Amino acid sequence: MKLSRVLLGVSLIAYSLCGCTPTQSKSDGKTKEGGVKIGRPEKKTLRRVIEQPASIEAFEETPLVARIPGYVARVNVDIGDHVKREQVLAEISVPEMLKEHNQKQALVALANAEVEQAKAFLDTAKANIATAAAMEREADANHERWKSETRRVEALVASKVVDKQILDETLFQFRSAEAKVQLAKAMAKESEARREKAVADIKAAEARVKVAVADEERYAALADYRYLRAPFDGIVTRRNIHTGHFLHPQGGASGVVFQVARIDTLRIVSDIPESEAIFVKNDLAVKIQAPIFKTPPVEAKIRRTSWTLDAKARTLRIEIDYPNKDAVFRPGMFVNVSFAVEFKDRITLPASAIFLHNDQPCCWRVVDGKAVRTPLKLGGREVPLVEILLMQVRENTWENPTGQEDVVLTNLGAVTDGKEVPEQRK
């Protein structure tokens, strides 16, 4: 801030002492020898170019770690190698885990066999139900036959056609048929119960299959971790293993086996100061220049921002997605990003009309033909124009400029406070 003020002072002194040609204003006048030119502030559109340092990052960069313990059996890539998504970068030797996986597969087969066995029992139970039903019908028919026979014999005994001994034999057969009916009904109920048990056994066996399959899939997933695969198309930027190394799952940087970066698209990241962050928005056009290259800047757009400012640094993080087709830029490189912001309808004065007094920007206003030193508060600038935010028209009284103020534009050294202004208008 202090440096910009010093530079402003230097430029203002240069304009006022070196007689630079002023910008034409609305109230142009002719300057006589020893005279000055008076004009009025004008509404202009100021264009400000904001430039900030930035760094290049890979669009994605993933550290890979071992998920299961084991010895490195094979390393397939090295740093700088381009890899494809799901490509195997290295393989870990885990023979014990593979044996356990085989055991889990056998248990799944056993559980499936138990389901088939339970289904066979169900078929048998259903057949037994059919047999019991047939036996029950036969017993009912036999029971009805002997019931009818008993009534007939009772009538014959009553008529004394046959003796009572035949009736006793008939009653015995009737009761025997009645018992067979009860037995057939019991067997039918037993068959029903066996069928229900067979159904329950099938459900239990199917549940055991699910448990066995889940356990087998868990071991299959663990066994698949023996392959360290690339998470996306990219390039290997770090390799921390060799064949025979023992790997153990652990967190932190010490456990990183490979690091893979995606470089087909890059993130260009910059932190914009609070004073300029208010002008930043998505899809704002920017230019990117790498100082290391003596080439014209490339164009891109701001893709996203953090929206909130960092509480400590008071900066807004912006990210630019840059397609890295020619692989010119690399992650870690330093670049500058710049973008232009337009300020429309700003009250401006030429820089030649502004000078410093006690480190305070001022201009000479002409009031009733006399010069009045007027402190200013400045805004943005675009050479040779400077935005005027406020004028101190009276002591401790600041007002917005209206554009109707008469201001000395040239030959500021010929003007003193309270003196008549040597000027002639058209």
pLDDT, residue 120, reads 87
Query: Are 178 and 141 found together in one domain?
Result: yes
What tokens were used for 51? 């430039």
Instruction: Report whether pLDDT(380) > 60.
Output: yes
The pLDDT of residue 414 is 85
Domain boundary among 311, 342, 373: 342
Q: Would 255 be classed as within a structural domain?
A: no
Residues 195 and 312 in one domain: no
Instruction: Judge whether residue 45 has pLDDT over 50.
Output: yes
CATH of residue 414's domain is 2.40.420.20
What is residue 94's predicted lDDT score, i.e. its pLDDT? 92
Helix axes 95-158, 164-224, angle to 10 degrees: 170
Final residue in a domain of this structure, among 342, 371, 401: 342
Q: Which of 300, 324, 342 is the last residue of a domain?
A: 342
Instruction: For residues 82 and 105, state if they share a domain.
Output: no
Secondary structure class of 348 (helix, strand, coil) = strand
Residue 159 burial (10 A CB sphere; 0-12, 13-18, 19+): exposed
pLDDT confidence of residue 145: 79
CATH number at residue 74: 2.40.50.100
Q: Are residues 205 and 110 in the same domain?
A: yes
* Domains held by the chain: number: 4
pLDDT at 25 over 50: no
Q: For residue 32, is it within any domain?
A: yes
Instruction: Let me know whether 86 and 39 are in one domain.
Output: no
Smallest CA-to-CA distance from 82 within 325, 322, 321, 262 is with: 262
* Whether pLDDT at 82 is above 90: yes
Assess whether 349 and 334 both reside in one domain. Answer: no
The verdict on 214 and 101 lying in the same domain is: yes
Structure tokens at 236: 């290997």
Q: Does 256 map to a domain?
A: no
Whether 355 is covered by a domain: the verdict is yes
Please report the sign of the dihedral spanned by the C-alpha atoms of residue 300, residue 305, residue 311, residue 314. positive
232 and 88 together in one domain: yes
Which of 255, 268, 257 minimizes the C-alpha distance to 79? 257
Bridge partners, 304 (sequence order): 319
Pair 159, 241 in one domain: no
pLDDT at residue number 337: 95
Read off the pLDDT of residues 113-160 as tens digits, 9 standing for 90 and up.
988 888 888 788 777 778 778 777 887 787 787 778 777 777 777 777
For residue 367, the number of C-alpha atoms closer than 13 Å in the C-beta half-sphere is 10
Strand, coil or helix: what is 159? Answer: coil
139 located within any domain:
yes
CA distance 19 to 37: 12
Q: How far apart are alpha carbons 373 and 367 in whole angstroms? A: 10
CATH of the domain at 112: 1.10.287
In a domain, 167, yes or no: yes
Residue 79: partners with Cβ closer than 8 Å, 6 or more residues away = 236, 237, 238, 239
Write out the residue range of the structural domain in which residue 387 sits: 2-46+344-425
Residue 297: CATH number of its domain? 2.40.30.170
Q: Which tokens hold the place of 210?
A: 């699910």
Q: Is 329 within a domain?
A: yes
Q: Are 353 and 412 in contact (CB under 8 A)?
A: yes
Residue holding tokens 């007094």?
Answer: 357
If you average pLDDT over every residue of the chain, what do you get? 84
Mean pLDDT over residues 309-332, rounded? 91
pLDDT at res. 302: 95
**84-97 per-position pLDDT tens digit:** 999 999 999 999 99
Residues 181, 238 within the same domain: no
Whether residue 348 is found in the same domain as residue 317: no
pLDDT at 404 over 60: yes
pLDDT, tens digit, 9 for 90 and up, residues 152-168: 777 777 777 777 787 77
Residues 108 and 177 grouped into a single domain: yes
Distance of alpha carbon 175 from alpha carbon 27, whole angstroms: 137
Which amino acid is present at 322? Y
User: Is the model's pLDDT at 30 over the cut of 50?
Assistant: no
Contact 62, 78 (CB under 8 A): no
Cβ distance 379 to 388 under 8 Å?
A: yes
The model's pLDDT over 243-288, given as tens digits with 9 standing for 90+, comes to 999 998 876 556 899 999 999 999 999 999 998 888 899 999 999 9
The values of phi and psi at residue 191, to 5°, are: -65, -40
Q: Is residue 253 part of a domain?
A: no
Residue 163 DSSP SS3: coil
pTM here? 0.61
